[in-house]
Structure formats: C-alpha cells, structure tokens
C-alpha cells in the first residue's frame, strides 16, 4: 500500500453487506474553527472581570497524609485586598462523590493526599491573593501513608467490594491446559494535560441564586455539588459550560469542587468569584488515569488458542472513590478485547491509597484490560513459535465464537475482516520478514537500532456501564425565519459534538448546517443530564435532538398536507390576525404520511431509538424535507412545495408548537453488576492497528516509524471530525504507553507537574508514516444514523506501539536473557511477583524470551529489558 498522509480516508467493504441508509453528511468544519483561529473563542478565563469580582486561591496539603493541627487565616484577612477566607466550617454539606460521597469539599481535621484543600481565600487582586495565601498559618502532623498497590493490599485498604466476571470453569481449565503463562502487568497513571486548567466563574444573582460558568464535562453534577456546598436548592443554581479547552475525562467529576470553592466565596461576599488553577496547581491537585497492577495466569494449547484466563486486577483509586469502581468494572469488561475466551475468571479490587483521587480518562478502564490480553497473546505466540498476528486471528471473535465472558454477543462483528484487510493493506508479512532480517543483520552490532512490529485490535463497548446514566435530553426551538436553536446536555470540549448534532438536526429538516445554532450547555435548559463521556455524547444527545425534531416535523408535515388543500389566501399568515378562518387542526398522533429528511428514497430510515420505519407503501403520502423546502408527494397528484421558513410562519400563526423536548434512553441494556453478566453495551466500535517502532540501543528511546489503522466507525456523521478523533486519540495513547511518566517525591507530591518535566507527545513523536482508514459499515442499525463512536476506541489501538516495542526488545536482546520455565501457581491477592513465568508442560524445557515491560515503556525501562542481566548485576547490592 502506498504511504498515505495523516487523515486520508479510504473505503473498504470487505465481507460486510452494506444496507442502504442515509447519505453522508460530509465533512463540515468544527463549529468553533473560525473563532479558534481568530482568537475569539471564549473560555472561562476569557470572560471579562466584573467590578468587584474576586480571585480565589487555595491552601492545600503538602503531605500525602497528615493531621491539620492548626489553621489560622486571620493574618491573610489582615492583608489589604483580601476579602474572605473559607474553611470546612463554612460548607453546608461537606461531602461529595460520584459513586460514594466520601470526599470532603474542604478537609477539616485530616488530609489524605497532597493537594487536598483546607481553605479558600478570596481577594480583589492577584497580588493581594498571593500575599494572603502566603500569610495563612498552617501546622501539620505528618501521618503514615499508603502509596502503593502492594501496601494497600497488605493493609486491606480498599474502596468498595471485589468485582467478578466469570464464564465456564477457569481454574479447572487452567490445570488441564497444555501450556500456561503467569505474571504481573504494571500499568501506571497518566495526566490528562488539557490545555485549559480547572476553572470556574460564579455570579451571584438576585434572591440568593448562583450562575456558575465552569470548565466541566458534567454540568449537572457541578450544579449539585455547588448547591449542596452552599446549602441552597438545586433550582437556585444554573451551571453553564460553553466549551472546554480539553477534558479527556479529567473534568467529568473533578471540576465540581473547584466550582464550589468559587461559589462559596461568591455566596459569602455577594461578589462574583473566579478560580483558575495554574498548570502546576492543576497537575498536583487533580487525579490521573488509575494505575493498575494485574496478576494473571493464562492457559493455551499448542496452536496458541486460549483455553482459560484467570486475572486479578488491582487499581490505585487514590484517597477517595471518585469513579474508580466504575473504571475497574470497565477494565474487567475489556479483558477479552477482540478475542473469545471459553473459560474466564476476572476479579477486580480498587485500592485506597494516599494519592490524589484518580478519575476518568479517555478509555476509562478499557485500556488496562486490552493491554493485558494483547500482551498475553504476544507472549503465547513467542511460546508456541508462531507470529503474533496468527495467534490473534486464531483467537478472534467469530460467528461460532461470539459470546463475551459477561454474556453479551458480539453483534455486527467486523474484527476478522479488519485483521485480514489491514494485513494486506499494511503489507504485514513482507514487513515482518524485513524486520527480522534487519535485526539479524545487526545482531553482530550491539549499537544498532532494533525494530519491532505488532498488530493489535480494539473492541470497545459503547455505553456507560451504569445503566441509568444512559439517557439524554434535548430542546429544539424553530424560529420564524427558519433557523433553529438546539440545547442538549452534551459539552463541547474540542471533539466536535456540536458540529455533529447540528448536522443531524439540519438533516432532519433538510436545512444547511448554518441554519442550526447549538447553544451553550446549561442546566436550566437540560436538567439531570449525564456527563459528556463514555464516547456517547453524539449518540445520546444527538438521538434526543433527532427525537425532538421528529415531533416538530410531524406537526409541520401534517400542516403542509393540510395547506395543500387550502387556497394560499386562506392560510394562517393571511387570516389569523382577523381570525376570518378557523385554525387548522393538527393532531399529535401519527398521520397518514411518511416523513423524509431529504428527497432520496431509502429502504429504511434509522431514527433515534434504533427502530426503522417502512416507507415502501405505494399509496402513502410522502412529506420530504429538502433544500430548505417541504414537499408533499402523493401518487397520481402533483407535488406541493413550500419553503421551510414559510411553513414555520404558517405554523406559528396557526398556534402550532415549534419547540419540542426529546428524551432518549439507550435501549437493550441489561447488565447485572452483582452477577457480572448481561448486556452493558449498545454496540462495539472496532478497529485494528499495525505499528512499527525503532529502539535506540544507547538511549532506549522509541521512535514510531509507521502506523496503519483500519477502523469500523459505522456510518460517520462527519468524516473529518471522526478522523481527527482517530488520529488524535492514537497519538494521545502513544504518550500514555511510552513517555508520560508520573514521578512523586517521598511526601507524595507529584514532581513532574509541568510541561518541562512531563513529556506528552509532540509533532516529532508522531509516526513518520501514518495511514488511517475507515471501512464501510452501514449495519449498526441500533444507533442513530448507523454511526459509531470514535472518542475513546482509537486510544486503545496505541497499545500496538507498546507491543511493538516488546517485539523489538525480544528480537534484539540475547536469547538467553529470558525468564524461568516453571511458573509459580497464580493465587490472586497473595501473588505479588513482578516477573512473568511460563510452564511449557512436557514439550519444552528451554527458556523463553518473554519481555517484562511496564506501561509506560520509558527509555530506562526499555534499556533494562534490552539487557536485563546487565542491569541485574548493577542493581545487586555490593558485597564488602
């Protein structure tokens, strides 16, 4: 395949059978594209300061765990310009949390992580604020802390109960397996590194109300946390989120307390209050992607087919629960990834430590489970002497092997076709031979670079794993000039959800996207919403908007049918003023017509609920919305056409509602979390990626030479935005698996809390060749417009970079630098070995060259794996 530039999209039909659905909506630009490049996009700190507005700053713990012995804010209040100091005593309801309400808004007597807030200072100027913060007197008594998963397990320091998913009899199957491998996979955290730090501005309004503008992915939760902290009803707080300068999950829950700090100052003083963290403060105080430590044992046959998997997943939840239990559940639900496992026992336990409470991150817990199984398949391939791609294809979900460990069938399964297609498109076999030759030719030169190649997959479930969160609402207002305002619970944070929803709405009415204005997300228009997360923003909110549109369209279509039989001079716009004609009766019930968003006829139309409507009746009246016109078409009758804006005016003068509310609840979900069985996901987004890397033997640096990606994203609403999500998500995932390393000091303080010490990918880190394609798949009839989500799944394909690095190391280092050939029996919580082991039964006693490489695969870790015996001698304590 010829090298393609980043963002190139090609079509591939493979073995899939397309169905005829709606035409493509094209690749319209992001709704903020112009304002971004002209510098006029408004973020929180771009809002003009009001007269008397206060700046807020925080006093927080410098220790992982400590007792607050003394806190004196009086010296700060003596500073000119310092207006107020807020402590735990001023908080009406001082506990918050998404799953468990276990975290103080402001700590009172004890702190449990570096960055936990004990006081908020409000000042008229930034200079006064800095002096005031420096004047606060705090004395701490440092207490013993827990800062590792091993220590948490040893002390039974847990959050929530142990979760389990089971299928078959894994323990018995392991005992009878011809081969087994066992070990521990360590996966460390990562920072979200959004460009706009946590920020909020709160405006006091009359009668004790508060208007909160927050950089939050979850306006409803922010509204509730603010209201509870201030001791006022939810109805007295309006939370608005116009746009975010990035979120990636880091603002799903953790934006709420920062908004509460500003709100407490605003309520106390009656002045507007603003809080904007610096990048250093943000990184120190906020939680990260949860670190994981996974103990596993896997049994397989001579061909490399998995027989059984037993895995115990531990995660570091930090000091408080936040979303860690839900993240653990998602990790367990993705331990199978793209592969059928007959016998599985998957257990998960969240550990309580003294780090900042970890939280949602793009992919949630999914990347941890996927990394586990992809690593295991690579090791199986090395044990049985086969190419890892062949082992993956052997284990891939197929028609007769399509049930997950939690009991959901893998419907609309494109995985076998994706593997076959990318194998050809990426020229995998020839490149594999070239890489092996490259490494062999340079074996005599220990200073040459090493290369590796790996193809991994993703099968990412789309829906919140908590059922009640799978709902959304939308308000659609049609104005008399034919333009629309749409309000939903979706938050725009750069991913283009506004543009996608605008396209869906415009298509419904046959209008240009310019006619649709997506309004800032606000809790007074869309209440009780779920966060914009889980890759479901367009799915749920777009579906709700389409449902609202269809209600309005029904009334407009009925009116158009009625106007056809009425002389224009008797239409409502001509007669309503004088009331010379009776109003046209419009029923809210289904009429004897079928509506179309445009003039193209189709076999089926997918609506917001996933249902289809038959439109093939030869005698049906058809109302078509196309090119800003509404056309009534009936057999043996001339078409009747009216401009959309004219029809809207007639509806208004006929007292027909032009506003509608739509509520969408994701169908078909039924997952029992206690039993670990059911259907947690509406559908799966699928994809494969082949990554080729080169490792510098001197420095351990990984260079990504080439990436080929092929994804099933259903029928994209916006090709360009979906491609941006695919490419951007992959690069962000590259950072997680290679360079983004969190360093903490002995007090639990994050040391790498700035761009100078925390290495995210830059343009020089992107693959030298980057081919990204979509397949054609119109068969996802359960989702609005047959589309599939692209927010999170591409990030998990970056695991191929990590497995390619493992491949390069295995091919480059001496064959004797392996691991023992006998395994220690897996025993869940009591097995804390950090090494991999293999049991080859009676067929082999030779050592196998298995690679132990944690995530992220930093340069030092790569060097250690290239020469494990050498580093073992260096690390050994010297003898006197």
- Digit-coded pLDDT (tens) for 417-432: 999 999 999 999 999 9
Find out whether the peptide bond into 280 is cis, omega within 30 degrees of 0.
Answer: no
Alpha carbons 742 and 818: distance in angstroms, whole number = 28
Question: What integer pLDDT is reported at residue 406 of this predicted model?
Answer: 98
Residue 10 or residue 703, greater confidence: 703
Mean pLDDT for the chain?
Answer: 90
Reported as a pLDDT band with limits 50, 70 and 90, residue 870 is confident
Q: Which two tokens stand for residue 527?
A: 């209440």
In this prediction, residue 814 carries a pLDDT of 63
Which tokens is 613 given?
Answer: 């409507």
Give pLDDT, residue 606. 30
35 pLDDT higher than 50: yes
Instruction: Tell me the C-alpha distance between 557 and 559, whole Å.
Output: 5
Position 315 scores a pLDDT of 98
Out of 792, 860, 865, 869, pick the active-site residue.
792
Residues 405 and 344 sit within 8 Å (Cβ to Cβ): yes
Rounded Cα distance between 793 and 627, Å, is 35
Exposure of 511 in the CB half-sphere (CA atoms within 13 A): 23
- H/E element, 239: strand 237-241
Query: How confident is the model over 841-867, as a mean pLDDT?
Result: 78
For domain 471-665, say whether CATH 3.30.365.10 is its number: yes
Kindly report which listed range (225-229, 331-335, 809-813) carries the lowest average pLDDT score: 809-813
3 pLDDT higher than 50:
no
Distance from the Cα of residue 411 to its chain's centroid: 22
Per-residue pLDDT for 395 more than 50? yes
Give the per-residue pLDDT at 880: 59
**Which of residues 834 and 712 earns the better pLDDT score?**
712
Burial classification of residue 634, based on how many CB atoms lie within 10 Å of its CB (0-12 exposed, 13-18 middle, 19 or more buried)? middle
Distance of CA 745 to the CA centre of its chain: 29
pLDDT of residue 448: 81
**Quick one: what percent of the chain has pLDDT higher than 70?**
88
User: How far apart, in whole angstroms, are the C-alpha atoms of residue 492 and residue 501?
Assistant: 11
- Summarised one tens digit per residue, pLDDT across range 587-611 is 765 555 665 554 332 222 333 333 3
- Cα 781 to its chain centre, rounded Å, is 23
For residue 354, pLDDT over 50 is answered with: yes
Answer left, alpha or beta for residue 798, where phi above 0 means left and psi between -120 and 50 means alpha: alpha
pLDDT at 502: 97
How confident is the model over 173-202, as a mean pLDDT? 98
Residue 498 predicted with pLDDT over 90 = yes
Indicate the range of 152-156, 196-200, 530-534, 773-777 predicted with least confidence.
773-777
pLDDT at 51: 97
Mean of pLDDT values over 840-863: 75
Q: How confident is the model at residue 813, as a pLDDT? A: 78
Token pair for residue 198? 């946590």
Looking at the predicted structure, is the pLDDT value of residue 356 above 60?
A: yes
Q: How far apart are CA 853 and CA 849, in angstroms?
A: 13
The model's pLDDT over 618-638, given as tens digits with 9 standing for 90+, comes to 447 899 999 999 999 988 889
Q: E strands of 634-747, at which residues?
A: 640-643, 659-665, 670-672, 677-679, 683-695, 702-712
> pLDDT tens, 459-468?
999 999 999 9
Between 481 and 635, the more confident residue is 481
Q: Which residue has the tokens 């049918």?
A: 561
Residue 33 CB neighbours (<10 A): 13
3-state secondary structure of 709: strand
3-class DSSP assignment, residue 158: strand
Over residues 37-73, the pLDDT tens digits come to 999 999 999 999 999 999 999 999 999 999 999 999 9
**pLDDT tier at 10, thresholds 50, 70, 90:** very low
The pTM (predicted TM-score) of the whole model is 0.92
Mean pLDDT of 225-241: 98
The H or E element containing residue 575 is helix 572-575
Q: Greater confidence, 7 or 384? A: 384
* 792 counts as catalytic: yes
- The residue count of the chain comes to 880
Strand order in the sheet with 659-665: 516-518, 484-488, 471-478, 659-665
Asked if 12 and 710 touch (Cβ cutoff 8 Å), the reply is: yes
pLDDT at 670: 95
- CA pair distance 67, 61, nearest whole angstrom: 10
């Amino acid at each position: 395949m010829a090298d393609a530039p980043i963002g190139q999209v090609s079509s591939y039909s493979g073995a899939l059978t397309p169905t005829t659905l709606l035409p493509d909506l094209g690749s319209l630009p992001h709704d903020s594209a112009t304002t971004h490049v002209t510098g006029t996009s408004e973020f929180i700190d771009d809002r003009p300061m009001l007269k008397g507005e206060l700046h807020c700053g925080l006093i927080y713990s410098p220790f992982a765990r400590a007792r607050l012995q003394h806190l004196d804010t009086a010296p700060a209040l003596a500073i000119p310009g310092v207006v107020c100091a807020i402590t735990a005593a001023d908080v009406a309801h001082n506990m918050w949390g998404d799953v468990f309400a276990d975290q103080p808004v402001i700590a009172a007597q004890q702190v449990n992580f570096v960055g936990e807030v004990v006081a908020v200072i409000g000042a008229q100027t930034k200079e006064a604020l800095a002096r005031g913060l420096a004047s606060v007197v705090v004395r701490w008594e440092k207490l013993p802390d827990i800062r590792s998963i091993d220590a948490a397990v040893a002390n039974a320091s847990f959050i929530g109960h142990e979760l389990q998913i089971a299928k078959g009899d894994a323990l018995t199957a392991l005992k009878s397996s011809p081969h087994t491998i066992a070990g521990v996979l360590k996966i460390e955290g990562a920072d979200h590194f959004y460009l706009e730090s946590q920020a909020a501005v709160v405006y006091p309004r009359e009668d004790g109300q508060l208007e909160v503008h927050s950089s939050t992915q979850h306006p409803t939760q922010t509204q509730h946390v603010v209201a509870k902290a201030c001791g006022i009803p939810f109805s007295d707080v309006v939370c608005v989120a116009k746009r975010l300068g990035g979120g990636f999950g880091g603002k799903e829950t953790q934006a709420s307390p920062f908004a509460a700090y500003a709100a407490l100052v605003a309520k106390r003083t009656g002045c507007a209050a603003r809080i904007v963290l610096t990048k250093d403060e943000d990184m120190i105080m906020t939680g990260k992607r949860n670190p994981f430590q996974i103990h596993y044992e896997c049994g397989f046959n001579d061909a490399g087919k998995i027989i059984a998997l037993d895995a115990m997943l531990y995660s570091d939840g930090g000091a408080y629960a936040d979303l860690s239990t839900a993240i653990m559940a998602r990790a367990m639900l993705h331990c199978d990834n793209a592969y059928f496992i007959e016998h599985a026992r998957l257990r998960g336990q969240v550990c309580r430590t003294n780090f900042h409470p970890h939280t949602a991150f793009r992919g949630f817990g999914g990347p941890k489970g996927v990394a586990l199984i992809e690593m295991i398949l690579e090791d199986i391939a090395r044990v049985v002497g086969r190419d890892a791609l062949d082992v993956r294809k052997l284990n891939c979900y197929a028609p007769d092997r399509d049930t997950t460990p939690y009991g959901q069938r893998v419907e609309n399964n494109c995985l076998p076709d994706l593997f076959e297609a990318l194998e050809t498109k990426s020229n995998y076999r020839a490149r594999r031979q070239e890489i092996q030759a490259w490494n062999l030719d340079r074996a005599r030169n220990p200073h040459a670079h090493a290369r590796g190649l790996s193809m991994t997959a993703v099968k990412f479930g789309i829906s919140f794993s908590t059922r009640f969160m799978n709902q959304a609402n939308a308000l659609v207002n049609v104005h008399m000039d034919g333009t629309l305002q749409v309000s939903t619970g979706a938050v725009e944070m750069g991913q283009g959800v506004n543009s996608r929803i605008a396209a869906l709405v415009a298509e419904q009415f046959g209008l240009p996207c310019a006619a649709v204005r997506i309004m800032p997300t606000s809790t007074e228009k869309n209440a009780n919403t779920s966060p914009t997360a889980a890759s479901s923003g367009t799915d749920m909110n777009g579906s709700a908007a389409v449902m609202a549109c269809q209600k309005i369209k029904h009334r407009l279509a009925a009116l158009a049918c009625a106007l056809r039989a009425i002389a224009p001079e008797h239409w409502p716009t001509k007669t309503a003023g004088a009331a010379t004609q009776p109003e046209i009766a419009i029923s809210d019930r289904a009429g004897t017509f079928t509506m179309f968003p445009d003039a193209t006829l189709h076999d089926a139309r997918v609506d917001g609920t996933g249902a289809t409507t038959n439109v093939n009746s030869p005698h049906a009246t058809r109302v078509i919305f196309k090119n800003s016109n509404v056309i009534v078409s009936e057999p043996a009758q001339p078409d009747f056409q009216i401009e959309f804006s004219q029809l809207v005016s007639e509806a208004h003068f006929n007292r027909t509602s032009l506003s509608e509310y739509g509520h969408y609840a994701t169908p078909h979900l039924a997952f029992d979390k206690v039993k670990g069985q059911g259907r947690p996901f509406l559908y799966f987004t699928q994809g494969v990626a082949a990554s080729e890397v080169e490792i510098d033997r001197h420095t351990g640096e990984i260079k990504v030479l080439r990436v080929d990606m092929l994804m099933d994203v259903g029928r994209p609403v916006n090709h360009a935005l979906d491609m941006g999500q695919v490419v951007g998500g992959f690069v962000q995932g590259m950072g997680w698996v290679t360079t983004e390393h969190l360093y903490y000091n002995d007090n639990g303080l994050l040391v790498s809390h700035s761009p100078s010490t925390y290495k995210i990918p830059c343009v020089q880190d992107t693959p030298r060749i980057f081919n990204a394609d979509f397949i054609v798949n119109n068969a996802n009839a359960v989702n609005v417009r047959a589309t599939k989500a692209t927010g999170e799944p591409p990030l998990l394909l970056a695991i191929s970079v990590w497995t390619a690095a493992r491949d390069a190391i295995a091919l480059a280092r001496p064959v004797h630098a392996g691991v023992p050939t006998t395994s220690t029996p897996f025993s869940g919580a009591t097995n804390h070995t950090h090494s991999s082991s293999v049991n080859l039964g009676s067929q082999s006693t030779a050592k196998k060259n298995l690679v132990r490489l944690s995530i992220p695969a930093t340069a030092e870790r790569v060097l250690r794996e290239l020469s494990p015996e050498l580093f073992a001698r260096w690390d050994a304590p010297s003898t006197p």
